[in-house]
Structure formats: C-alpha cells, structure tokens
Amino acid sequence: MDIAYLKEKCNQIRIDTLKEIHVAGSGHPGGSLSMTEIIVSLYYYKMKITPKNPLDPLRDRFVLSKGHAAPIYYAVLADKGFFDKELLWTLRKLHSPLQGHPDKKKLPGVDASTGSLGQGVSIATGMALAAKMQGNGVNVYAVLGDGELQEGLVWEAAMAAGHYKLDNLTVIVDNNGLQIDGSCDQVMSLLDIGKKYESFGFTVYDVKDGNDLEQVIEALDAPSYGKPKCIVAHTVKGKGVSFMENSVGWHGKGLNDEELNKALAELGGK
Amino acid sequence: MADLIATREAYGQAIAKLGEVNEKIVVMDADLSHATMTCYFADKFPDRFFNAGIAEANMTCMSVGFADAGFIPFVSTFAIFGTGRAYEMVRNSICYPHMNVKLAMTHAGISLGGDGGSHETIEDIALMRVLPGMTVLVPCDANETYKAVEAAAKIDGPVYIRLARMATKVFDDMPFEVGKANVLKDGKDAVIFACGTMVECAFEAAKKLAEDGLDVAIVNIHTIKPIDKDTIKTYAAKCKNVITLEEHSVIGGLGDAVAEVLLEEGGYRIKKLGVQDEFGQSGTPEELLKEYRLDPESVYQDIIKPELFMRVKNHRFTHGIITTVHFRG
C-alpha cells in the first residue's frame, strides 16, 4: 500500500469533484468531500473491481447509499476508467448519464441506483446474501450518511444482515455530524451509532479520523469474525476546503467561479 | 362447477413447481408465507427461500440484490404492504433501474374478509401500472395464475401479479399471452371488460342480462399493462356499451385503463364498476362483495339502471348509449 499515492489520489478526486459541481451549478460538495478517504481506500486499495468488464459477476460491489454524494463517486469511476473522464463535465445536464443521483442503467460502474436514502444499504444487504448463496467470494461495501441512519429501512437492513451473518458485507457510516437542516444532534439524535450496529449483530470499528487513509484502511482490513462489519468513520463535512469544512450550508450547493478558484488554490489544483 | 381454488393457492403451487425447472428462482416473503402460500416453495427449496421478517421495505430492496446476482426473485406478501408500504422502494429500487424482480402479492381487493379495510388494497393496480416498465398481471383463476407465474419468470424486468385470498371458480383452460386479452364470451349488445375475481361475476351477471334479451360479451383483461388496445377497441366498437368490472377502486384501475384506450377513439360512455372511492371493511367475502355491489345481482342491476344503461327497442344505438328502455315482461 502506497499511502503517498493514495493521498495524492484523494487530492485529485477532491479537485475533480468540485469542478464537476461547479460546472453543474448544483450538487453536494460537503458530503462528497467528507467521504473522500473512504471511497479512495475502497476503489484504489480494497475492492476487486473490473473497469473493463463492469458487469463481471465476480467483482466486488459498491453501493453509494448516500446517493447525493454522486459527484465524488463519478470522479472515482472516471479515474478508474469505467467511462470517459470528459463525461464528468456533463453532471446534471439533460441526457447526461451522470444523473444527480447514481443511475445504474445509464452509467457503467454504478452497481446500484440510489438516492432515496436507506434503500442502498438494503440493496447491498441483498447483494451480500445472494453472494453468500452463490459462494463466489464477492464482498459488498455500502457507504451511508449519518443523517441517513434516521431512515427506518437502514435498521431493517441491519437486522437482516445480522440475522443472515453476512460477513461479506461492510457498512461504512460517513459520520460527519451534519445534515441539511443542521447538525444530526439538533435534527434527530443518533446517539451511539456503533452500539446500535453492535446490537444488530455487527462487528463494529470506530475510526477516530475517517479522513485519515491509514485509519480507514486498518478498519477495512480488520477481521469481521463471521459477522457483517460496520465502520463508523468520524469525518469532517467539506473536508479539504477551509470554507466548506463543518458548514451545513455546503451540503447541497454549487460553487461559483470565485469559490472554485479559492478551493482549488487550497487543494493545489487548477 | 369445478372445485374452487384461490389464486394465492395456485401461485404457491405454481412457484413451487416452477422452482424445480428454474434454479434461478428465489422467493422472499415477509412473515406471511402460510398466507401467500410461498410456504410450499419454502418447504421444497429451503436454501432458495428467504424470510425478511416483518420488513416489507427491506424485503423489496434486498430482492434487488438477488436480481443483480442473476436470480429471479419472486417477492410475496399482502398486496397492501408490498405495493403500498414499500411503494417507493418498488419505484426507485426496482422499476427505476428496471430490475428483474417479480412482485406476486396476495390478498388484494376487498374480498379478503375479516381483516378489514386496513388490509384491503383497492389501489394497487393504479399504483403499479403508473410505474414505467412495470408489467401488471391480474389472473382470474388458478390456471391463469399458473401461466402468469410462468410468463412473469420469462419477462426481463419487473412484473406485478395481483392475487386474491378467496377461493374462486376454475375456468376451462384458456390460452394466456401477456398483453393479449381473452374474449371469453362473444356478444353484441354490450361488453364487460373484467379482471381477476370479477371475471366469474361478469359471467353470472351476463346470464341475468341474457334473460332480459341482452347479448353481452365478456373480455378478460388479465394484463392491465401493457393493455390490449386492439381487443378493447374492437369490442367497444362492436358492442357500443362498455362496462368495466374490477375488485379495485374505479379510480386508476382497469376501468381507467380501458377508458384511456377508448379516449383515443372518443364517443364512448363507460360504466365503471368497482369500489366507488371508499375503503373496505370487515365481513365475509360474500357479504363484502354484496356491500360494494360487486356480486352478480348488484352488477346486473347497475348495468341495467336506465339512467346508465338503456336498451333501444329497435336495437339502434346512438354513440354507445342505448336511449330507450325495453325490459322483457
């Protein structure tokens, strides 16, 4: 594992993500940036992916349950060669395969259409159960927002994953603490996320800094002891751009020219 | 009359049998397998049966995972929950990405009986047929259910199969082709387009109408979507007087599906018989069908009501509405 290389990747992916949202004029920068280290650890280190054969049945599956973070997902898929990088600049445009939320019918590399919160992790649970049944060694990874955990369906899925002992399923919570209307604690307290998942039969890893590649990777590599795994990654919303960090206002908002330039200057991009 | 068999029972038997020849079939249920009759499949293929517990939304999305892996999941629970509670999951996780999932839902309509209005869905056809890419099948008897299940497994995409709790007549074997309506009885004075449990009722009502000298055609619309426009247009043109009959709300169901087709032609008045924009309640199936005027006698009466459906002495029709009444005797 080359941490320096992965760090550089994170930076590049952040830059592409912000450029996408800038061109689109709308999108979700805050929750994209907070999960940068998570998605880069998965796509550049952990997962078995097959960009040349996006429907390879033996590939690992990734489900972006927090589908609004589509811009960073697309930046990674393009960089991995699932489609032409030029498509990134069509995000949210009419007829673009880069929909505001991921659409598997339109874009190669997208394993599940998501966007309506809670449904992605439930689909991922079904994928993991199907893979167990087939005994094909496929692993399934789902990334959820912390606000998303307010959806009851998330806990229906957790119950099923625990019941079926899906040790090929990893649920990663991008715990940046903020949602549209304010902090999660203000809107609807989540209390101890790890304890909740533990009680549903998961092996839980608490990652103190979810924007630290080494900590994320350590949790991804940690054993799951015959159970589904949950990684609670404490992240910073808008991570990497000073004026976006920990700001509710940057949940779902486009960047103007000036804001983009300022952000790129901080990230050392152009 | 042959023995009565509920379409849910026929479904349970059909899917268990189909499981023998098609190893891709998996079945999911939400703690109702002894009511939806997926228990037959579960007994036979325990490794391919998954109980989601009382969690219909999760069952719906999990089935997408099976479809993604190349399986053909049949998902069953009561229609009220499968199409209602989990509606947005059906829309966004199954239909939006056009996943190969079959929703075989039982206890549809008001005839389920004692459970009452909370459990009696009269909206499911409307909810399912509005979804792009969804095929909607409403088999009328055990034989048709078997064929609908077989056909659904062959379709690459989402299918909704509407099934009933109460035991109903088994008709002689009929051909079944998705999207092709079955003309069960020819006629010239009126046509009843019916589906599901109401096909038998249409026959009984037609017998009474025949005693009044009315020759009524009966068309079984087992596929609500894609609907058989040609047969509907042909029989409407031939019979002029159009009646639709369904154990569903008259809003958004078979009646409106037929009306949409005939709007393309114009000039028809359509009598929609079904549940008239109200909820169901507890009772025996027989009582409920009578209460909501879906028994043969009520259907007969509603068809011949002079203000709605009238017969001309000289059999001359104007624009589909018979203008003067002539009752025998």
Cβ separation of A153 and B61 shorter than 8 Å? yes
B182-323 in CATH: which number?
A: 3.40.50.920
> Which chain B residue is nearest to residue A105, measuring alpha carbons?
B97
What interface predicted TM-score (ipTM) does this complex get?
0.94
Average of per-residue pLDDT across B303-308? 70
* Percent of chain B whose pLDDT exceeds 70: 92
- What is A151-176 written as a DSSP string? SHHHHHHHHHHHHTT-TTEEEEEEE-
Give the predicted TM-score (pTM) of the model: 0.94
Please tell me the predicted confidence (pLDDT) of residue B3.
Answer: 85
Cβ-Cβ contacts under 8 Å, B77 against chain A: none
Instruction: Look over chain B and give the mean of its residue pLDDT values, rounded to a whole number.
Output: 92
Integer-rounded Cα Rg, in Å, for chain B is 20
* Tens of pLDDT, residues B202-222: 999 999 999 999 999 999 999
Name the minimum distance, in Å, from the CA of A126 to any CA of chain B: 4
Residues of chain A found within 8 Å of residue B64, distances taken between Cβ atoms? 112, 123, 126
Same fold for the pair B2-170 and B182-323: yes
Model pLDDT, residue B310? 45
**So where are chain B's domains?**
2-170, 182-323
Tell me yes or no: is domain B2-170 CATH 3.40.50.11540. Answer: no
Residue range B11-38: mean pLDDT, rounded: 98
pLDDT band, very low/low/confident/very high, at B129 (cuts 50, 70, 90): very high
Q: What average pLDDT does range B89-118 have in this prediction?
A: 97
**What is the total count of domains within chain A?**
1
pLDDT band at B326 (very low <50, low <70, confident <90, very high): very low
Going A17 to A20 to A22 to A24, the CA torsion angle's sign is negative
CB contact under 8 A, A103 and B65: no
Cα–Cα distance measured from residue B12 to residue B6, given in angstroms and rounded to the nearest whole number: 10
Contact B58 A103 (CB under 8 A): no
Q: Which residues of A touch B98 (CB under 8 A)?
A: 105
Asked if the C-beta of A119 comes within 8 angstroms of chain B's C-beta atoms, the answer is: yes
- Chain A's closest residue to B61, CA to CA, is A123
A157 → closest Cβ in B26, B58, B71: B58
- Chain B nearest-CA residue for A130: B66
Q: Are A126 and B65 in contact (CB < 8 Å)?
A: yes
Could B97 and A131 be called an inter-chain contact, meaning their C-beta atoms sit closer than 8 Å?
A: no
Residue of B50, B55, B92 with shortest CB distance to A159:
B55
Judge whether residue B242 has pLDDT over 50. Answer: yes
Q: What confidence score (pLDDT) does residue B307 get? A: 55
C-beta separation of B77 from B8 below 8 A: no
Q: What's the mean pLDDT in A180-200? A: 96
Enumerate the active-site residues of B.
56
CA pair distance A210, A221, nearest whole angstrom: 14
What residues of chain A lie within 8 A of the CB of B61, using their CB? 119, 122-123, 125-126, 153, 157
pLDDT of residue B202: 98
Neighbours of A87 (CB within 10 A): 18
Contact A216, A47 (CB under 8 A): no
Compute the distance between CA of residue B178 and CA of residue B199 in angstroms, rounded to an integer: 17
* A174, A145 Cβ separation under 8 angstroms: yes
pLDDT of residue B306: 59
Nearest Cα residue to A77 out of A167, A17, A4, A157: A17
B97·A134 Cβ contact <8 A: no
Residue B313 has pLDDT above 60, yes or no: no
Q: What is the pLDDT of residue B317?
A: 42
A 10 A CB-CB count for B265 gives 12
Confidence of residue B2 (pLDDT cuts 50, 70, 90): low
How does DSSP assign B71-90, residue by residue?
-EEEEESBHIIIIIITHHHI
Query: Residues of B numbered 24-83 whose beta carbons fall under 8 angstroms of chain A's beta carbons: which are they?
Result: 26, 47-48, 50, 52-53, 55, 57-58, 60-66, 68-71
CA distance B136 to chain A (A): 22
Question: Does residue A145 contact residue A193 with C-beta atoms inside 8 Å?
Answer: no
In B, minimum Cα distance to A155 occurs at: B58
Instruction: Count CA atoms closer than 13 A to A232's CA, side-chain side.
Output: 19
Which domain does A240 fall in, by range? 3-267
Optimal mutation site among A63, A114, A123, interface B, most CBs of chain B within 10 A: A123
Question: Kindly report the CA angle at A40 between A28 and A97, in degrees rounded to 5?
Answer: 50
Cβ distance B52 to A111 less than 8 Å, yes or no, reads no
Q: Which residues of B touch A141 (CB under 8 A)?
A: none
Facing residue for B92 by CB, picked from A119, A124, A152: A119
Q: Which residue among B55, B66, B89 sits closest to A119, beta carbon to beta carbon?
A: B89
Check which CATH number belongs to the domain holding A35 and give it. 3.40.50.970
CA distance A200 to A257: 46
- The residue among A35, A110, A101 whose CA lies nearest residue A80 is A110
Residues A167-184 as b or e (16 or more Cβ within 10 Å = b): bbbbbbbbbbbbbeeebb
Model confidence at A125, pLDDT cuts 50, 70, 90, reads very high
